[in-house]
């Protein structure tokens, strides 16, 4: 397993704080949604068990978080029906339907328009 792994010990119980919020203090450059995704994908354990982002950290908890290696973004061509309004050697004008994703992003890594 490549990537980086960190171990944190919770010093005091935080009954009103979620685990993902607690982790933002320790990893300020990582977004809360990224931390939630890591938790949900099983890259984080508390006392050896998987938990939900809403878990309230307790004194003595041992949190192990693994940041996997980043996957390179790859856009692959795929067949899809497009409403071409105009096309020449330099430009193409398309009628894009509402809601169609136009580029790969988190949660939409494939089946995109552009």
Overall average pLDDT of the 87-102 stretch: 89
- Residue 73 scores a pLDDT above 70: no
Percent of the chain with pLDDT over 70: 88
Domains (ranges, CATH) in the chain?
A: 4-67 (3.10.290.10), 73-114 (no CATH)
pLDDT digits (tens, 9 = 90+) for 32-69: 999 999 999 999 999 999 999 899 999 999 999 999 98
Q: Which residues contact 17 (CB under 8 A, 6 or more apart)?
A: 56, 57
The residue with tokens 């944190």 is 8
The per-residue pLDDT of the chain, averaged, comes to 87
């Amino acid at each position: 397993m490549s990537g980086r792994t960190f171990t944190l010990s919770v010093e005091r119980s935080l009954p009103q704080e979620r685990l993902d919020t607690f982790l933002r203090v320790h990893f300020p450059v990582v977004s809360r949604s990224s931390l939630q995704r890591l938790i949900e994908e099983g890259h984080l354990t508390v006392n050896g068990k998987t938990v939900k982002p809403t878990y309230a950290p307790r004194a003595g908890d041992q949190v192990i978080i693994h940041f996997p290696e980043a996957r390179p973004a790859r856009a692959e061509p795929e067949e899809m029906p497009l409403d071409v309004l105009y096309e020449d050697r330099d430009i193409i004008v398309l009628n894009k339907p509402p809601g169609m994703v136009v580029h790969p992003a988190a949660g939409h890594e494939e089946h995109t328009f552009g």
